[in-house]
Structure 1
Amino acid sequence: MRSAPTILHLDMDAFFAAVEQASKPSLRGKAVVVGGLGPRGVVATASYEARVFGVRSAMPMGQARRLAPNAAYLAPRFSLYRSVSDQVMALLRSLSPLVEPLSLDEAFVDLEAGGVARDPVSARRAGERLRADIRAVTGLTGSVGLAASKMLAKIASEEAKPDGLVLIDPGTERELLAPMPVRTLPGVGPATGDHLRRAGITTVGELAEAGEDELVRLVGKAHGQALHAMALARDERPVVAERETKSVSVEDTYDVDIHDRVRIRLEVRRLADRCVRRLRAGGHAGRTIQLKVRRYDFSTLTRSETLRGPTDDPAVVREAAARLLEGVDTTGGVRLLGVGVSGLAAFTQEDLFAQAAYAGEEAEPGEEGDVADRSLPGREPSVERPVRKWTAGHDVRHAVFGHGWVQGSGVGRVTVRFETPDSAPGRVRTFAVEDPELEPADPLPLVTPVSATAPPGGPAPRGNGPRQPVV
C-alpha cells in the first residue's frame, strides 16, 4: 500500500446519457435513457433526471418505461461516445504514462508515475484540475476518487458522484470502510452478499471481524482470502497501462425468438462478418472460433473450433461458425446468437482449404438487413432486401431542413427533431419512412463554450454565447 493517495479513479457522470444531452439541446435537463429499445433491451445509462424515477443501469427497458414513461429513450451512438472518450483519455495521459482504461467512461491513473502528485495536497490539486479540464474540453462532468489503492480510489469516486471529488487520506481507510455494506467491495455480487447476510455479515467492518478462516469456510479459499484483505483495506494491484486483448466477439439479442433455420444461418454469417471487421480494426487475427446460442428457454450453449493457425479471413470464420451451428439444436427457437474469435495473434496463417472453397467469392455486405445466403447447397442465393430503419436517437440529414435526430418511427412515418449541439432546441417534423430527401447521417461533434472556466463542482457552462467544436 502507498503512503499517499496518488491513485486516481475517474468515472464520467451518466456518460452515454450526458453525451446525448450535450448533443441534443431539447434534452438538456430532461430524463434520458440510453440502451436497447426492443422488448428485451436493457438500460445502458440513465441520466440523473431519469434516476429520480428509479431507472437504473442494467434494468429491463420495459420496466424503465413503466417507471419513467415520459423520458426520452434512445439507442446508443458508440462512435460519438468513443470520440468523446478519446478526448477524456488524452487528458488522463497528460497527467501520467500509467493510465488503465476500464471502459469508455472510466479509468485509473497513477499520478505518482506522472510526477504530478506525491502527497494529499498535490493529489487533490491534480484531481480538481482534471475535472476542470474535462468540463472545459467536453462540457461534461466526471467524478474523481483519490486513494492509496485502486479499490479505495474506485470506492471514493462512487462516493463523489455526481460531479465531485473524494480523497481518502492514508490511515483512515478502515474507519471509512467499516460501516459500508459488503456489496461496496469489488467481487461481492448479489449471491455472495446474500450468503454473507445469512451468516450475519452485512458491513465491511463485520467482514473484517469475521476473520480469514471464517470467510474461507463461507465462500471458499481464494474468495475468502481476497474478501478479508479488502475488508482490511489491502490492495496491492498496480495501475497497468495496457491490457492485452484476449478475444473479440459480437452478439445480438432478438426481440422475437428465431425459429427458421435458414434465418439462423443468415444471422450467424452476418455476425461472423461483424466479428471479423472488429478483429481487423484491432489489428488481430485468431485461431479459435466460438459460437454462442441462447435458446428460447434461456439455456446457453457455446461451441468452439480451433484452426491450424490464426486468421482474419471472413470466409474462414463464416465457414467455421456454420460448422459449429450444425451441431446445435435450435428447435424451439433462439433468442441470442454470438460469434467470437480468441487465441489472438498479430499475424495470419491462412486456411488454404477454406480459401480454395471460397475462391472468387465477392465481399458480402456487412450491414444489418443486407445479408446474402450462400450456405445452402443446391439453392439459389437469396438476398434480403435492405429496409430503411430509423432508430430513435440516431442522426439524420434532410435535404431541406438539415441535420436532426430521430424521435420515433412507426406505421410508415418517422418523426425528426432538427437541431444541432450548438443550436437552440429545434422543431419537430414528420416524414414518410421512404422519403428520398431524408438520409442517415454521422453524429456531429459536441461543442463547448469558448470560456468554459466554471469552477470545479459548479454548474456546467451552457447558454447561447459563442461556442466552439470539440476537436
Structure 2
Amino acid sequence: MGLQSRKIIHIDMDAFFASVEQLDNPALRGKPIAVGGSSKRGVVSAASYEARKFGVRSAMSSITAKKLCSELIFVKSRFDRYKEISRKIRAIFLEYTDLVEPLSLDEAYLDVTKNKKDMDSASSIAKEIRARIYKETGLTASAGISINKFIAKIASDYHKPNGQKTVSPDEVEDFLEQLEIKKFYGVGKVTTQKMYSLGIFTGYDLKQKSLAFLERNFGKSGAYYYNAVRGIHHSEVKPNRIRKSVGAERTFAENITSEVYMLEKLTHIAEELELRLKKGKIAGKTITLKIKYSTFATQTRSKTLVYFIASKDLILENAKALLYQEKLTDSVRLLGISLSNLNTEKEEKKQPEYIQLSFKF
C-alpha cells in the first residue's frame, strides 16, 4: 500500500461515567444505570452496559430512556470524581509516550511509534496499558491499534468492553473495504442514509467512487472520505490539542416550522452542551446558533458576550435571542448551538515536532 507506518493507539474507557458510579457504589453493579437527570428535561450523559442492552444511549432524553428501560436507575453526575480518575489514567499514558492527545475525560490517542519503554509492539503496549488501568483504577478500557488515528478509533469499538483490536499495515486495505459505511468515523446518521441512496454500503463501495463524484455529493467532506477509505489520514497526535469550540446539534426526523417547537429542541441541545462543557470544565464567550433549512442551506448567527458562559440557562437565553434575531426563511431540519472564544485558548502551546519512524508493527 506504500503507507508510512505510524503506531497509533486509541484508548477508550468502557462506559466511563457509569462504570465509575458502579465502582464506587457496589449496589449499582450489574444493574441498568444512567448518569444524568431524571427530570422531564433531563438528558442521559452515560449509560451502563446493562442499560445499553435496552437501547439507552448518551444524549438521549431521560423520558425516552425510562420508557426503554423501566428498571433504569438514574445517578447524578460527579465530574470532579471522573476528572480525578481521568488524571490517573493520563499519568499511565505518559509513562509510555509524551504524544498523548486527550479527546475527553475517557478517551485519548497515543502515538507509540517511538516510545519510552522501547517496545516494538504497539499491541503489547495497549495490552499493558489496559492492564495498568484496571489494576490502578478498577475500571476496564478498550483499545484500537493501527497506522493512523482514523482506523485506531474505529478499531477500538470492535471488541468492547474490555478488548482490543489491531489493524496492521497489511490488513488496512481489507479492513476498510469490508467496513460498513455507518462505522466510518465522521459518517453520521444523515450521511449514512445519503451514502445508501448512492449505493454506498461498505468501504469497498465507497472506494469505487471517484474524488469528483464524492466532492460533488458531499462537498469538502468528499476528499476526506476518498482518502479515509484508502487508509490515508495524516492528522498527527497533538499532545497540546486545545478545542476551539464546543457544540451540540440535533437533526429532526421531520422538518419543523414552529418557533415554539424549536425552543423546546434548543432546550435539549443547551442541556447536552452544558454536559459537554462541564465534562471538560470549559466555558465560552461567543455563542453561535446553527440553522439548517429543509433546502440544506445553512445559516449561522453569533454574538460575543463580555463574560464566559457554560450553564444551560445562559446558553438557552442567548440562543433564543439569536433565533428571534431575524425571520426564518424556510422550515428547519437541524438546529445546533456552539460556544467558541473559550477559556482554554490561552493555554495553547506550540506543538512539538517529531520524526515518524517505521518499526515492525
Q: Common fold, TM-score beyond 0.5? A: yes
**1:128 equivalent in structure 2:** 127
Q: Distance in 2 between matches of 1:325 and 1:153?
A: 39
Q: Which has the larger radius of gyration?
A: 1
Shift of 1:130: 0.4
1:306-353 C-alpha deviation (Å, 9 max, x unpaired) = 76xxx779xxxx9xx9999888859xxxxx9x9956276659xxxxxx
User: Residue 180 of structure 2 aligns with which residue?
Assistant: 181
Q: Which residue of 1 aligns with 2:234?
A: 236
Contact 1:10 1:108 in 2 (8 A): yes
- Give ranges in structure 2 of 5+ residues lacking alignment: 249-259, 261-270, 292-298, 326-334, 348-361
1:5 touches 1:123 (CA, 8 Å); kept in 2? no
SS of the residue 2:97 aligns to? coil
Q: 1:227 to 1:324 in 2, by over 3 A?
A: closer
AA partner of residue 191 (structure 2) = T
1:8 Cα deviation after fit? 0.6
Query: Which residue pairs with 1:73 in the alignment?
Result: 74
Higher RCO structure, 1 or 2 (CA under 8 Å, sep 6+): 2
In structure 2, the residue matched to 1:213 is 212
Aligned partners of 2:245 and 2:338 also within 8 Å: no
2:107 is aligned to 106
The runs of 4+ residues in structure 1 deviating greater than 6 Å are 291-294, 321-328
The answer for the alignment partner of 1:16 in structure 2 is: 17
Question: Is the 1:6–1:123 Cα contact (8 Å) retained in structure 2?
Answer: yes
Count of residues paired in the alignment: 299
Amino acid at match of 2:34: V
SS in 1 for 2:208: helix
- Pair 1:154-2:121 in alignment: no
Return the offset for 1:71: 2.2
- Contact 1:5 1:169 (C-alpha < 8 Å) held by counterparts: no
| Runs of 5+ unmatched residues, structure 1 | 251-258, 260-270, 295-299, 331-335, 348-471
Structure 1 residues 175, 60: closer, same or farther in 2, change over 3 A?
same
The DSSP-based 3-state class of the residue aligned with 2:170 is: coil
2-side partners of 1:175 and 1:88: how far apart? 33
Please give the root-mean-square deviation of Cα atoms over the aligned residues, in Å: 3.9
Q: In the alignment, does 2:163 pair up with 1:190?
A: no
Instruction: Tell me, in whole angstroms, the C-alpha distance in 2 between the residues paired with 1:303 and 1:199.
Output: 35
Cα distance in 2 between the residues matched to 1:249 and 1:29: 33
Write the deviation string for residues 216-244 of structure 1: whole angstroms up to 9, x where unpaired.
22212x21111011111111111000123
In the TM superposition, what are the counterparts of 1:365-384 in structure 2 within 5 Å? none
CA distance in 1, matches of 2:318, 2:192: 42
Q: In structure 2, the residue corresponding to 1:159 is in which secondary structure? A: coil
Please give the residue correspondences for 1:41-440 in structure 2 after superposition, counting only pairs within 5 Å. Answer: 41-116=42-117, 119=120, 122-220=121-219, 222-246=220-244, 289-290=286-287, 303-305=302-304, 342=341, 346=346
AA paired with 1:138?
T
List per-residue Cα deviations over 1:94-117 (Å, max 9, x = no partner).
111110000110000011242446
Q: 1:213 to 1:305 in 2, by over 3 A?
A: closer
Deviations 1:119-157 (A, max 9, x none): 4xx212211110110001100000011101001111111
The SS at the match of 1:84 is: helix
Q: Does 1:38 align with 2:36?
A: no
Matched residue type, 1:130: I
Secondary structure at 1:160 match in 2:
coil
Paired with 2:22 and 2:41, the residues of 1 have a C-alpha distance of: 24
Moved more, 3-12 or 195-204: 3-12
SS at match of 2:9: strand
Q: 1:11 to 1:248 in 2, by over 3 A?
A: closer
Distance 1:291 1:38, change over 3 A: farther
C-alpha contact 1:34 1:44 (8 A) present in aligned 2: yes
1:327–1:190 Cα change, 3 Å:
closer
Residues 19-74 of structure 1: CA deviation (Å, up to 9, x unaligned): 00001110111111112322132222111111222222222221211121112111
More displaced, 33-42 or 197-206?
33-42
Match of 1:454 in 2: none
Aligned equivalents of 2:198, 2:246: Cα separation in 1:
40
Whole-Å separation in 2 of the counterparts to 1:325 and 1:62:
24
Using structure 1 for the length normalisation, give the TM-score.
Answer: 0.56
* Contact 1:98 1:113 (C-alpha < 8 Å) held by counterparts: no
- Kindly indicate whether the alpha-carbon contact (under 8 Å) linking 1:97 and 1:113 is maintained by their aligned counterparts in 2: no
1:107 aligned counterpart, secondary structure:
strand
Mapped to 2, the partners of 1:132 and 1:236 lie a distance apart of 29
Aligned match of 1:7 = 8
Q: Secondary structure at the match of 2:156?
A: helix
Would the alpha carbon gap of residues 118 and 231 (structure 1) be closer, same or farther in structure 2, given more than 3 Å must change? farther
Distance 1:195 1:128 in 2: 38
Deviation at 1:75, TM superposition (A): 2.2
- In structure 2, the partner of 1:27 is 28
Letter in 1 for 2:229: A
In the alignment, the residues of structure 2 paired with residue 112 and residue 126 of structure 1 have an alpha-carbon distance, to the nearest angstrom, of: 11
Counterpart secondary structure, 1:37: coil
Whichever residue aligns with residue 136 of structure 1, its letter is K
Distance 2:184 2:199 in 1: 17
Amino acid at match of 1:183: K
Change (3 A) 1:325 1:197: closer
Supply the distance in 2 between the matched residues of 1:31 and 1:65 (Cα, whole angstroms): 11
Q: CA distance change for structure 1 residues 28 and 325 in 2, over 3 Å: closer, same or farther?
A: closer
Secondary structure of 2:178's match? coil
